[in-house]
Structure 1
Amino acid sequence: MTSAAAFVLEKDAPIYVAGHRGLVGGAIWRALESRGHSHLLGRSSGELDLRERDAVFDIFAAERPAYVVLAAAKVGGILANDTYPVDFLSDNLRIQTNVMDAALEHGTERLLFLGSSCIYPKFAPQPIKEDSLLTGHLEPTNDAYAIAKIAGILQVQAVRRQYDRPWISAMPTNLYGPGDNFSPTGSHVLPALIRRYDEARASGAEVVTNWGTGNPRREFLHVDDMAAACLFLLEHYDGPEQVNVGTGKDATIREIAALVAEAVGYEGATEWDTGKPDGTPQKLLDVTKLHDIGWDAQIGLRDGLASTVAWYRQHVGSLREAG
């Protein structure tokens, strides 16, 4: 690891945030705006299909972004990943390869590629260190998506070796916050719990039933913390190895469910359907490297849940209803 402490993102330089309408990209966009960056570039998927190589190169030729945050990806839950592996592999490979090739050709100085903690082996020692990459078998239900993200990390490393560009990669833990997917069929565990408990509160339901035993442990990072970490890494890190981004702390699903119930004001009972699967017992990232660079998460889970519940209630009428 080497330091890039003197690297400063110029306020008037063009910055392209690929995926700026997604959970992570949107948070990074807000963080850049709050810091006074005046030349932000974003295209919706309707305006620019990142799978179309010529279209991507045309945008880079016209805009010539100095910095790129590659947060765009085809994402989905376990069912979608397991059902459509070709889509998750092909779409993500095309998205990231097109963006990175165009960035390389048109002189992008600094690029941050965002992956996923699913890149690590299914049975990696906990907490998961960066050097666990490529040391074991992947989780088979989302191995296509994971392989695509691993390819992105390797492309960043290849650009560093061949062209000496200070490009970097970051791997976030489970994220939540404003802009999350709260759909009944497509959401991840924390937004699903928020919706379930808030609807139970509103309807006066006496019992909420969750899947599994509640014993698996999960780590959650607020997306605004993730955005802050990304900007910090762009200014303070210059190394080939991906950097884990998380809190370094986890909790049981049972504990998280209790915090969600508290956040929404639900006072009924919670039951657990132990006939349903639990999933992986634990998935915790080792964030020692990030701490050593100088960054720690600032938003506690209780405070983060309160603000996320407030956002959910404000936007519940316009939320997407599919995965």
Structure 2
Amino acid sequence: MAVRLTALLAAAGLSLLGTAASAENGRQIGYYRVTLGDMRITVISDGTAFRDTVKLLTRLDAKLVAKMLHDAYREQPTELSINAFLIETGGKRILIDTGAGDLFKPRDGGRLIENLKAAGFSPDDIDAVLITHIHADHTGGLVFNGKKVFTRSKIYIPEADYAFWMDEDAAKRAVEPLKHVYDQARTCIGPYIPTGQIRTFAWGEQLFPGITALKGAGHTPGHSYFALESAGQKMLMVGDTVHVAEVQFARPDASVQFDVDQKAATEQRKALFDDAARRGYWLAFDHVSFPGIGHVRADGDGYAWIPIPYGVNDPKR
């Protein structure tokens, strides 16, 4: 069975390199490695966040949401994964998103650094950090105790998100809950501005060989996807396109409270699912259960999520 699984994944351009999951002081240490063509991808867990997903989801009847979650054996509050992705390619180590850092303490997130080290890396090993969008659970890990974590990395931020969240006049006019997001943006991004580490990018721009930024707007004005392509294989890193897998794959019309433009976010999600189901490339999500990698397929009026199967065998070993 293991040989057959390895062969099937190899045919798809993806091979399993290993996992680590062990208890240490009551915590799970998590990373998960795969290859995509000539790229090596390590999913790094920042832990989880507990949210009332019945209240979180919008544009769908709350009773239906509650039933779907109940049928999926998901309790309230629901524990949502916070995933980040380390890409090794062309001699570079590129991290996509950084988790929540200490912004959600004491219970949620904050495990990126320990799990990065468990996978054999330190923040000083990271050449670049690519940010899908400026929300605290994606940029919070840029700082810890108010200090920069990635002292030598260039930080790549969508230009539309930077313009929106770093607008001082808009921040002064903002009311809760948006005001809190504006404040967090300054907390996370601010320390990197004086040192010239911030780079903004436009959709369609190739940031590194085999890594291109694509439009994913709706969740935030600059919400971005990163297309990874190597040796004829493709994986799309899609950030916050899905928060609650048990509902949003079957009902992509369900949005979340944090979507700045809920209609646009819904349209973007449907378009992504349709394209990925037809073309068969891999998707990687920040909040789908760790490691958040898999495929989607059409299923009736909605879609079904097919997670990557677990495996620890390295076919190159």
**What TM bracket, shorter-length normalisation?**
0.3 to 0.5
**Larger proportion of strand:** 2
Q: Give the TM-score normalised by the residue count of structure 1.
A: 0.33
TM-score (norm 2): 0.33
Bigger radius of gyration, 1 or 2?
1
> Larger helix proportion, structure 1 or 2?
1
